[in-house]
A and B are shown apart, each in its own frame.
Chain A
Amino acid sequence: AQSVTQLGSHVSVSEGALVLLRCNYSSSVPPYLFWYVQYPNQGLQLLLKYTTGATLVKGINGFEAEFKKSETSFHLTKPSAHMSDAAEYFCAVSDRGFQKLVFGTGTRLLVSP
Chain B
Amino acid sequence: DAGITQSPRYKITETGRQVTLMCHQTWSHSYMFWYRQDLGHGLRLIYYSAAADITDKGEVPDGYVVSRSKTENFPLTLESATRSQTSVYFCASSEPPSGRFQETQYFGPGTRLLVL
Contacts and interface: CB of A to CB of B under 8 A. Distances in A.
Interface of A: 4, 32, 36, 41-46, 49, 51-52, 90, 94, 96-106
B58 A99 contact: no
A100 B59 CA distance: 10
B42 A104 contact: yes
Nearest to B99: A97
A36 B92 CA distance: 13
A43 B107 contact: yes
Going nearest first, the 5 A-B pairs with the smallest beta carbon separation are: A43-B107, A103-B42, A105-B42, A103-B43, A44-B107
5 contacts: A32-B102, A42-B110, A44-B90, A99-B31, A100-B58
A93 B13 CA distance: 34
Nearest to B56: A100
B104 A46 contact: yes
Interface of B: 4, 31, 33, 35, 40-45, 48, 50, 58-59, 90, 92, 94, 96-97, 100-110
Contact of B100 (A96, A102, A105): A96
A39 B54 CA distance: 32
B48 A100 contact: yes
A54 B4 CA distance: 31
B109 A99 contact: no
B44 A43 contact: no
Contact of A51 (B4, B31, B33, B102): B102
A98 B42 contact: no
A97 B59 CA distance: 18
A32 B100 CA distance: 10
A12 B33 CA distance: 32
B97 A99 contact: yes
Contacts of B103: 99
A32 B43 CA distance: 17
A99 B42 contact: no
Given A97-B102, A100-B33, 20 more contacts: A42-B110, A43-B90, A43-B92, A46-B106, A51-B102, A52-B100, A52-B101, A90-B43, A96-B100, A99-B33, A99-B48, A99-B50, A99-B102, A100-B58, A101-B43, A101-B45, A102-B45, A103-B35, A105-B41, A105-B42
